[in-house]
Structure 1
Amino acid sequence: MPKALIIRFSSLGDVVLSTAVIEALRKYGWNIAFLTKKEYTPLFREDSRISSLITLSSLKITIDEIKSFSPDWLIDLQVNFRSLLISSMSGIPVVRTDKKSIDRRLLTKFSIGDKSPKSVVDYHLRAIEKIGVYAPNTLPKIIPTKEGVSNAEKILSDLKKPIVIIHPGAKYPLKRWGNERFIALSHLFAENEFNVVLIGKGRNSSKIRWVDGIPLETLVGLISMGNIFIGNDSGPTHIASALDIPTVAIFGPTHPALGFAPKGKFATYISANLSCSPCTLHGKGRCKFEVQKCFEKIKPKNVFDIAIELYYKSKSSKGYYA
């Protein structure tokens, strides 16, 4: 059985997207190890596809653990100085994903290039074709832990389905659609007999509940129990799509052309697709306008309509309605 070690240190969404490579390798019978930062290891705590989960540590300890696993190949999905150093010093053959750095820079800095939606998942899967693994349509997939689901069940114990999970946050403020819009969206769902759970701090009402301060394991469990997920261009959005939850991602200053649209069976996105977008790769910086026009043009009703359509489409494909 061939052995591969996948390198993806961060961030949350990128780690989730890398699980498409785990799925592809598993189909071909590979023995898989995964190297990531400590904060993302809960994603793989009960993942039987992985035989060795390695936590990023000092250079020496990390390389020693890699050599202990003794992979035939390293699959570098991070492609930064640290991953290049680790792969070079390990002496193990390596394949690397294409980060499309020049294409992304041209789009964000000069608005030059193709603005059709793309996915880093496709770049990752093309990289492993070099080692004989051909699985072009493989999707990301994560496995909730028993503890995470149990914790989520306690949080949701008094809520009836259908449940909408909404994550208004993002690492960088520029990527946030805004709490006011998310709350207005929540009321639309509540008016249509959905219970709504928002991740963060806020005021609860009869059909709208805020949940804050939960660990990653519980977050995954919570999202897995939802019927719809809505979020910004952020990690939890990729978690939802990797769990096959009907998922709507809201893009503003970033853009699906950069490769970070959610990749899932029931995942889609909404973007105003303005000429000034994308203006940033990950959400750093400030908008040059007084208001973010890319978000102003996306109304709560627009998002609601897309989510409802996706919800019923998913239910139809599963063969039931409720």
Structure 2
Amino acid sequence: MEETHLRYKPASVYLPAFCSNLKESLQGHILIVRPSALGDLIVSLPALEAIRNYFSGAHIEIMGYPAFLEIVKERFYADTVSRFDHADIATLFTKNAQLSEHLMKRFGCMDMIIPFVFDKEQVLTKNLESIGARAIVHYDPFPPSGESIHITDYFIKFLDVLGIPDSGKIPKIFLHEKDILFGNDFIRNKIDDSNKKLIAIHPGSGSRQKCWPLERFAELILWMRKEMNVQILVVSGPADCEIVEKLRVKVKDFIRVDQLPLPNLAAIIKQCNVFIGNDSGITHLAAAVGVHTIAIFGSTDPNVWGPRGEWVKILHKKSDCSPCFPDTRRNCFLQTCLEAVTVEDVMCEVKYFL
């Protein structure tokens, strides 16, 4: 195949021509650059699934942040993963950079590089071109301002650039047998009464402004214990220690699922009957493993950022000021949008799923 370079601007309708035997030609090394948080990685999984299925014989590497990439490493999507947060990677975003021999060898052998990164001035793209990768297909990870589209559908639109058919619109996480065994063992060792339903709750989020009031989580847990005879598992991520400790003061006993590797956490959540969480990456994780998921949204638009799944219910009561911009959200203390979702609203959905 002749050397081909593509630049795709999502805001434009330009679809550059590519070689006709793309599927046969690109069965070598494909690098997907996806430096993102957990939720952002999960919403792009349907696009990654389609790439994996189409280039079934290729070696696919995904570059990003190691803790999040564990859910794709050797779990269908990626043969290998690599770190984005290395100092030499930063030089790729510098104009007229003097690129190291390591970078030249590292990226020059790629048959295709797909950077899902913000690169408005195409600095990264030009540096990758200078290295000599056979094909570069850039796609901005965020829709153009004013375009109302679910973020997963936006990533699926990327497939048009390569003429790849989509493989579905619901993110899926594929677990290893060892992951599933870990989840089974965790539940068996922690739960005394196997007849009880399991409810997983994640009261935190990457942003405190996305968190449903802690008092309502406490009231919900106390009600479920009394009326539904369930066992509560509370998920705690790296940023959730304080909020989980405050919850423990209010409701005392629950099983804490604390800062596990994501495949292990996914396997535990998969064992649960219902998951309840805020607008967070963990909520997207629950939806992607196929659990009945109740997602509480406030300041962000669930039509764009909501988790997808066969058993997902999003609770969102739009207020005059939502959805809002991040700067507005950071300075909001009223949280009218989240306050509008009542404990009774969540109770109703729990009753329905159980």
Q: TM-score, structure 2 length as denominator?
A: 0.73
SS of 2:330's partner is coil
> What letter is aligned with 1:71?
D
- Maintained 8 Å contact 1:21/1:125: yes
Q: 1:260 aligns with which of 283, 286, 305?
A: 305
Task: Name the structure 1 match of 2:44.
Answer: 18
Cα distance between partner residues in 1 of 2:232 and 2:299: 26
Q: CA RMSD in A?
A: 2.8
Q: TM-score, structure 1 length as denominator?
A: 0.80
Cα distance between partner residues in 2 of 1:220 and 1:24: 22
Task: Name the structure 1 match of 2:331.
Answer: 286
Shift of the 291–98 alpha-carbon distance from structure 1 to 2, 3 Å rule, reads: closer
SS of 2:201's partner is strand
Cα distance between partner residues in 2 of 1:146 and 1:65: 32
- Maintained 8 Å contact 1:41/1:55: no
Q: Does 1:214 align with 2:260?
A: yes
Query: Percent same amino acid among aligned pairs?
Result: 24
Superposition deviation, residue 169 in structure 1: 0.5
Shift of the 223–85 alpha-carbon distance from structure 1 to 2, 3 Å rule, reads: farther
Query: What are the within-5 Å matches in structure 2 for residues 145-224 of structure 1?
Result: 145-157=176-188, 158-159=190-191, 160=194, 161-190=196-225, 191-200=227-236, 201-202=244-245, 203=248, 208-224=254-270
Shift of the 255–129 alpha-carbon distance from structure 1 to 2, 3 Å rule, reads: same
1:209-268 Cα offsets, whole Å, 9 max, x none, are 2333333333222222222111111100111111111112111122214x2100222223
Task: Name the structure 2 match of 1:273.
Answer: 318
Superposition deviation, residue 86 in structure 1: 3.8
Task: Name the structure 1 match of 2:106.
Answer: 65
Q: Does 1:232 align with 2:278?
A: yes
Task: Name the structure 2 match of 1:88.
Answer: 126
Task: Name the structure 1 match of 2:11.
Answer: none
Superposition deviation, residue 80 in structure 1: 4.4
> What letter is aligned with 2:146?
D
Question: Which structure has the larger Rg over C-alpha atoms?
Answer: 2
Cα distance between partner residues in 2 of 1:173 and 1:283: 13
SS of 2:295's partner is strand
Cα distance between partner residues in 2 of 1:245 and 1:282: 33
Shift of the 137–48 alpha-carbon distance from structure 1 to 2, 3 Å rule, reads: closer
Q: Does 1:119 align with 2:158?
A: no
Where in structure 1 are there 5+ consecutive unaligned residues?
A: 105-113, 313-322
Cα distance between partner residues in 1 of 2:294 and 2:201: 10
Cα distance between partner residues in 1 of 2:276 and 2:342: 13
Cα distance between partner residues in 1 of 2:213 and 2:37: 22
Shift of the 99–145 alpha-carbon distance from structure 1 to 2, 3 Å rule, reads: same
1:30-59 Cα offsets, whole Å, 9 max, x none, are 433212112222112331342232221322
- Maintained 8 Å contact 1:145/1:221: no
Superposition deviation, residue 178 in structure 1: 2.3
